Amino acid sequence: MRDEAQSIIALLTQRIAADVTRLLSQTLAPGLYLVATPIGNLADVTVRALTVLAAADVIYCEDTRHSRGLLTHFGINNRLTAYHEHNAERERPRILALLAEGQAVALISDAGTPLVSDPGYKLVRDCATAGFDVFSIPGPSAVLGALVCAGLPTDCFLFAGFLPAKSGQRKARLADLALVPATLIFYEAPTRLAASLADMASVLGDRPVAVARELTKLHETVLRGTLHAMAVHDDNAAPRGEIAIVVGPPAATIVSDDDIVTALERALASQSLRDAVKTVAEMLGVPKARVYDIGLEIKRGGA
């Protein structure tokens, strides 16, 4: 078994070295490179990500001290410059100027895929508008990592980022999301986990939920249950680290024609047929065509 393991290691080393040599022998095309980096386990970095970071003319990151540790681990001594929400307005023109000079600029976040709950979309928009190439170097993502191990529907999901810190605002945001027919994914701070779960249970009902902590790290845990049970479980806990909450979609409900008629009659009291149809369709989660047909019947006096 030991000899077999050594053979595998030798083959992997040979193949990876060949890929690195091939990629580094190619000139990196000018443009903006969005490079995903590990969310915890450094072994999750891709070969392509490392070669892009090694070959880029400059690397922009959220925190130079944090990202320098990643680069040092892999022996990359490239130039690092900060790009975050506090200096983005100042740095964007500088990045565009570098791209105009034909340079290759890499953008990384502290962890995971850039732009996912991180600054950067305005930079990508401006680069695209100016005609510069934007390349995605895919890799780790806490959003997808949490989703696929939650045991909840994956065919349709919505990443809602961080919820507001205050309960009233948090509940209002959850109310906006309550009827979305998709699995919901949130990031949350450890100190607000219990309060957020309690508000979710209050607004969304007792849906299935998975709480993923420290994904890919030494103390990785994924707790599964219902919102009510999980809120009680975490009430006295002291969680640490990065947390993603995955909440199941709302239970499918059968909406009758009578339900639609009642809602439409209320909406038509203050809205045009077109606006009323849109309002009711979104509120009840039914097709607009169905609501419109019933609306026409109401207008003709047949409903």
The confidence score (pLDDT) of residue 196 equals 96
Examine the pLDDT at 22 and tell me if it is beyond 70.
yes
User: What per-residue confidence (pLDDT) applies to 302?
Assistant: 56
The pLDDT value recorded for residue 303 is: 52
Q: What is the pLDDT of residues 186-229, one digit of tens each?
A: 999 999 999 999 999 999 999 999 999 999 999 999 999 999 99
Q: Is the pLDDT of residue 235 over 70?
A: no
Q: Give the pLDDT of residue 181.
A: 87
The pLDDT value recorded for residue 300 is: 85
pLDDT value, residue 140 = 96
What is the rounded distance in angstroms from the CA atom of residue 150 to the CA atom of residue 104?
37
- Per-residue pLDDT at 216: 96
- The fraction of the chain above a pLDDT of 90, given in percent, is 73
Rounded mean pLDDT, 38-54: 96
Overall pTM surpassing 0.75 (yes/no): yes
Task: Name which of 244, 202, 259 is nearest 227 in CA terms.
Answer: 202
Model confidence band, residue 1 (pLDDT cutoffs 50, 70, 90): low
- Provide DSSP, 134-180: EEEE----HHHHHHHHHTS--SSEEEEEEPPSSHHHHHHHHHHHTT-
According to DSSP, the β-strands at 208-213 and 221-226 are antiparallel
- pLDDT at position 238 over 60: no
| Helices (H), ranges, the chain | 2-24, 47-55, 64-73, 88-100, 121-130, 142-150, 167-177, 193-204, 227-233, 257-268, 273-284, 288-300
pLDDT tens for each residue of 48-95: 999 999 999 999 999 999 999 999 999 999 999 999 999 999 999 999
Virtual CA dihedral for 69, 74, 76, 79, nearest 10 degrees?
-30
Look over the chain and give the mean of its residue pLDDT values, rounded to a whole number: 92
